[in-house]
Structure formats: C-alpha cells, structure tokens
Structure 1
Amino acid sequence: MTATVSWPAIAPVPDTPPCAPPARRPDGGWTLTRYADVRAALTEASCRVPVADPGAPGTLSWLRGTVSRFSPPERHPARRSAGIAALAAVDPGELRAEAARLTVAALEAAAGRLDVAGALARRVPVRALASRLGLADADAAVPAVTVVAAAYQPGADAAAAHRADRAVADLVSLAPPDPPEVLANRIGLLVQACDASAGLIGAGARHLLPPPDRDRAAVPGDTTRLLAEVLRLDPPVRGTRRVTAATVRLGGVELPAGTGLLLRFDAANRDPAVFAEPDMVRPDRAVPALTFGAGHRGCPGQRHALALAIGVLDVLRERCRRAPTPVRYEPHPLLRVPARLEVVAR
C-alpha cells in the first residue's frame, strides 16, 4: 500500500482537458486524453510522428530532417541508435553531480535571491550535458541551444527560424567532427533536453520547495521519488502529436489514415481509472506517467534528464524556499516552462 505525502493536492493546470473518450477537433483531428488511449497511440506502429523534410546542411531544417525525433519509420532506428550511443558515454551520476555544482555556484553568486528560470532551468542542464557530449565550449552552447529549441517544432516563424539557422551553425562548429546523422542527433539531444528539462526543474522547484508561508519547513521525502509524481502531475511536456498511417481503432473510434492526433499527457497522467486519488502525491505508484512517452519512440534520455533535474533540485531543497512572488509561464500550447520563478536562501 502506498503512502500519500502530506501536501495539498496538486490541481491540474486550468486548461487541462478531463479524461474522456476521443474527442473530434474543429480541424478534423482527434484529441486523446485517457491513459489507455494515449499509450495505445504511442505504441501503435500506424500512429506516426509528423515527419520533417530535410534541408541544407547546418541549418535548422537540416537538423529537424535528420534527428530521430522527426524521422520516418525506416530511418528512425539508425538515428535513434546514434543518440543512444552518444548518451551511453555519459554517466547520469556525473551529470547529477555537475548539475548540483553549477547550482551551488549560481546560488552563491546570486547573494540570497535567484530566478530559477533565468539562472538554472535551461542553463544548468544544457551546460552539463554539452560538456559531456564533447562540445568545445559548453558555455557558448547554452544560448545557441536555447535559440534552436525555441524554433525546433515545425511551424516556427521566419525570424525565429533564421536565428536558429545561425545557432545550428554555431553548434556544428562546437561539436566533435562526426558523420552528419551522428552530429545532428548529438545536437538534437541538447535541443530536446533544453525546454523539457527547464519545465521539469521549474515544476520541481514550484512543488518541492517550501512555500513562502512555511519558510522553515521542509517538504518531506526523497527528491527522486517525489519528482516522479511531479512529472506526472505537472508535466513539462503536456502532449505530443501523431498522424495515422492506416485505419486505427483507438478508444472505440475508427480513425482513417491521415488523421491528426493530439495526445494529452497531462490528462492521461491523472486518469482516475489508472491512478487512485489522481491529484494526490503518492511516490510509490506502480504505473508510470506517460510524460517521457512509451514504445520505440519513448525518450532515450529519461535517466539523464532526471539526473540533471535532481542535481538542481537537491541543492534548492537544501538551501532555498520559494519567494512570495507569482510563478509566470512562457506562452506555449504544449510546453509548461516557467518564465520566472524566484527562490530565496533560507
């Protein structure tokens, strides 16, 4: 039997949809919100990621068209293997220690008050990972990766894509010389870690640090176990997209080929049919959240992402409390990344 941590419930973000049967959208696509339906779409071979067209070498479109994230089924295994091979040389324990060291340094330089979003959430994970992936200047990689991440999803405006072209070129110059697919997937690991890690660190800081009215109290529990529930209840990536390549039956609905699917992790992670007391923090749940995906497209860097976030949050939990200022979030339909989240030294 699992124990409920003695916190208030973590309510859903206001625009999180309820768990319900598949719902048709005005654009003709469908939204999936139930755990079983979302997991089925993630693991069904006929539900495919939208593919990005390749572009000129060293540009944003080249990166999108070469990373495993946006690859067609026939190219995905080799490209994913390139990313996994790069991560295999990176020890999660060393990442955690480096993230903690960088966090301590940032706190000591901040003189008692620090904005987690601006000083830690993107900078620490990208810098720690870049140095271990062999980039020549990890500090220079941070702003370049941030620019690319802002335009990474297809549909970015022309100005953001132009800035990202320059940033991709910078990252290519910093990375070790490798064949194009290996190089792109090395850079892709950094880009995919950027906003997702920032959102995870932001959620952890918001929910695991003592609130302003409990400045001398500690939120109980081990960071690693608690973070799994924070990841479920306030996921940094709230959903993802798929397109059906053949007729598929999901949630009792027959969906023809070419149907766009929006898979809502934030709703599925609170499905009462799967998670008893879905809004409560219960670190020993047997069923995992879907935030890192599932199946052969699941996130290959889950252990590394968690290690980076835990390294930051262990230090913040030991030394800080949340400041009595509101937490603001960046505007984005599917990412939940804080724009400002202040902490103060205890």
Structure 2
Amino acid sequence: MTPTWPVLAPAPDTPPAGPSHPHPGTGHILTRYADVHAALVDPSCRVPVAEPGLPGTLAGLRGAVSRFSAPADHPSRRAVGVAALAPLDPEALRGHAALLTAAALDAAHDRVDVVSALARRVPVRLLAVRLGFADPDAVVPAVAAVAAAYQPGAEPAVVRRADGAVAALTALAPPEPFEALANRIGLLVQACDATAGLICAGARHLLATAERPATGGDLVELLAEVLRLDPPVRGTRRITTAAVRLGGVDLPAGTPLLLRFDAANRDPVVFAEPDVFRPGRTVPALTFGAGPRGCPGQPHALRLAAGVLDVLRDRCRRVPGPVRYEPHPLLRVPTRLEVTPR
C-alpha cells in the first residue's frame, strides 16, 4: 500500500521561493533552489571571515575554525575536521546514541524534554568521547555556552561566558595546536545546534501523538525529508568578492547575501508538491550546504539523530501542543519539546 504522506506547512516567516531581491540590513536575499546552490558553489561568494583572536578565547576559536575562514585557510582547516570524523563509523554512532537515549528514558520514568535531555546532550557527549575530550559531561554545557555566542552579534555577557567555556574545553582536550583544537570544538558546536535541531524536528514530525499514529519507514530517509521541510539551519550568509550575476541580477563586489535554505528546499520548480512530506526524493535538500563548504558531517549527524529517534519512536509519544522556538534568525531549535512513555 502506498502511504499517504502529510502536508507540512512552512514556518510562518519562511519566504516563498522567488526572484532574488534586496533587503534593508541584509543585502540581497536568495530563495530559489538554483540561486542558492549557485551562491554556495561560486568562489566569488565568500563566507564572512572572522578576524584572528587570542587562542583559548571565543575570538580565537572563530578566527581559527574552517566555518569562518578565508579561502586560502579553509582547505587545511576543513581537513582537520574531516580527519577527526574519518574514524567515526556513522552506524556505530547511531547505536551508541540509541543506548544513551534509552538510559535517559530509563532514568526519567515520566515526561522527558527532548531538547535538554537528549537533543543538546547526546550528540555532543558522544562526539566529545570520540574526539578525545576528558569529562564529556563537562563538555556538554561548555559547548552550549560557545554555541550561544558562535555567530557574530552576541551580547557581551554571552561572549564572556563563551570565553570561559573555550578555556575549559581547551583544558579538557588532548594537547594539540590551537587551530587543530578549534576545529574539533567546531564539530561539537555544529552538533550542539544543527544536530539538536534535526533531532527536535524529527521528534516533532515523526513521533506519534495521542491523535496521530507513528510514521513508518527508514529513519535516515525520513530525516532527509525532515531536513528539507523543517531545516534546523534555515540559511547562511555570504558576501560577494567580485561582480557576480545571481538570480538574474548583477551584484557588485561587497554585496552581502542571505541564502535561505528553508525557501529553496520548497522551490516548486525543483520539488513537485513541495509542501508534501515525501521521503525518497531524488534532489537533495540544501540544508547541509553544497560545494567546498558543504558539511562533512552529514552522515554522522543523520545517524546520531536517527539513533535518538530509533528509541523515541519505539518507546514514546510526543506530548501534543504548540512548539515554541529559540529566538534566532537562522537556527530553528525548540525551547522545549516533551515526550511521554507509551
């Protein structure tokens, strides 16, 4: 029997896929799949680069990670993260994530907040162990403090907490040059935000409630469609370094760009019935990026999330009710999302 898949409306502030257009304070917004993909792979569209900072501080971390690196520095820094992930078998991570999730449910005996107890904890703790950090339980809150200030514009008090957290993580990490350590910490920060958001989106859309039966199917394939329809990272920024034509518009050098994954992933030119949850689509969502800066941890993130959801789907129902999200222009992580045993 062919399943009847639900229609999932976009978040209220998701723009429709359409022509690129200027926006005050943002520069130029790209919402169509082809335009966003073009900007991701065009070397003239560069990630905003962080200035170097003192090692052991947030500024030092941001100035050393591949995420905010200039093109000349990016390949070597990215290689550190790729090498750190290479020994990690994604399916083994899935199994260990399931074990930690089961232990958390066993200890709770009642309602569990997926955000704090699982999504922001399990991936970071597991990766901290695999990446050689001491005291993984101390790593989890430290990474959360760094993640809160990782993007530019954080309040001074949040930055100060992040400085202390970077110093703590430096002390817990194996001895190595700070640039290499920074890129290991960067992997943990990505797990704290993006993977946590994916787990929460999966729990919201794939878990049964009292009113809705559980969704069957392979979880990794289902999560790929969750990534398309409810991406935890809704967009990214670029700046043009030369004159470039995007979306039929000629843009001069120095134009800030906002690339909206959430809109591009619902582009009707690319995805038939774009609001329908239909696993197995042949065109990938852009949520993990594309080109030389595409996320190298995609298989790890998908399987870490699947490990948590394997157990939740087997043992829990989601508590019905509205879901509220942390205030952030580009991340989509709930403030709380509860499950209860069946």
TM-score category of the 2 structures, normalised to the smaller one: over 0.9
**For 1:224 and 1:99, how far apart are their aligned partners in 2?**
14
1:153-212: CA deviation from partner (whole Å, max 9, x where unpaired) = 011111100000000000011111112221111111101221111110000000000123
> Pick from 216, 220, 227: which aligns with 2:223?
227
Deviation at 1:281, TM superposition (A): 1.5
What CA distance in whole angstroms lies between the structure 2 residues aligned with 1:175 and 1:280?
A: 44
Aligned ranges 1:101-120 → 2 under 5 Å: 101-120=99-118
SS in 2 for 1:261: strand
Q: What SS does the aligned partner of 2:279 have?
A: coil
Closer/same/farther in 2, CA of residues 250 and 67 from structure 1, 3 Å limit: same
Partner of 2:29: 31
Out of 58, 61, 64, the residue aligned to residue 60 of structure 1 is 58
Match of residue 275 from structure 2: 279
Question: What letter matches 1:340 in structure 2?
Answer: R
Report 1:83-94 matches (<5 A).
Answer: 83-94=81-92
- Per-residue deviation, residues 116-145 of structure 1 (Å, max 9, x unmatched): 011111100100111000101111100000
**Normalized against structure 1, the TM-score is what?**
0.97
**Aligned residue in 1 for 2:5:** 7
Question: 1:4: Cα distance to partner?
Answer: 7.0
The answer to whether the 8 Å contact 1:46/1:246 transfers is yes
**Structure 1 residue 93 displacement after superposition:** 1.7
How much has 1:98 moved relative to structure 2?
1.2
Superposed CA offset, 1:214-268 (max 9, x none): 3xx3212111111110010000000000000000000100000000000000000
Match of 1:267 in 2: 263
CA distance in 1, matches of 2:59, 2:48: 14
Distance 2:321 2:101 in 1: 21
What SS does the corresponding residue of 1:280 show, helix, strand or coil? Answer: coil
Which SS does the other structure have where 2:211 is aligned? helix
Question: Where do 5+ consecutive residues of structure 2 fail to align?
Answer: none
Q: Does 1:305 align with 2:278?
A: no
Letter in 2 for 1:144: A
Residue from 307, 320, 325 that aligns with 1:329: 325
Residue 281 (structure 2) pairs with residue 290 (structure 1): no
Aligned to 2:280, the other structure's residue is in SS state: coil
The one-letter amino acid of 1:203's match is: A
Matched AA of 2:152: P
- 1:6 Cα deviation from its structure 2 partner: 2.0
- In the TM superposition, 1:127-206 aligns within 5 A as 127-206=125-204
Kept after mapping to 2: 8 A contact 1:98/1:311: yes
State the one-letter code of the partner of 1:319.
R
Counterpart of 1:293 in structure 2: which amino acid?
A: G
Deviation at 1:14, TM superposition (A): 0.4
Gaps in structure 1 of 5+ consecutive residues:
none
Number of residue pairs matched? 342
Partner of 1:78: 76
TM-score normalised by L of structure 2: 0.98
Instruction: State the shift of 1:284 in Å.
Output: 1.2
Secondary structure of the residue aligned to 2:271 is coil
State the shift of 1:113 in Å: 1.3
- Counterpart residue type for residue 37 of structure 1: D
Of 37, 40, 57, the match for 2:38:
40
| Distance in 2 between residues matched to 1:70 and 1:5, nearest whole Å | 43
What value does the CA root-mean-square deviation take over the aligned residues?
1.1
Looking at structure 1, the residues matched to 2 and 329 of structure 2 have their Cα atoms a distance apart, in angstroms, of 31
- How far apart in 2 are the matches of 1:268 and 1:307? 24
Percent identity over paired residues: 72
TM-fit CA distance, 1:5? 4.2
Trace 1:249-260 onto structure 2 (pairs within 5 A).
249-260=245-256
1:236 to 232, 253, 259: 232
Match of 1:315 among 311, 315, 318: 311
Residues of 2 paired with 1:285 and 1:196: CA distance? Answer: 22
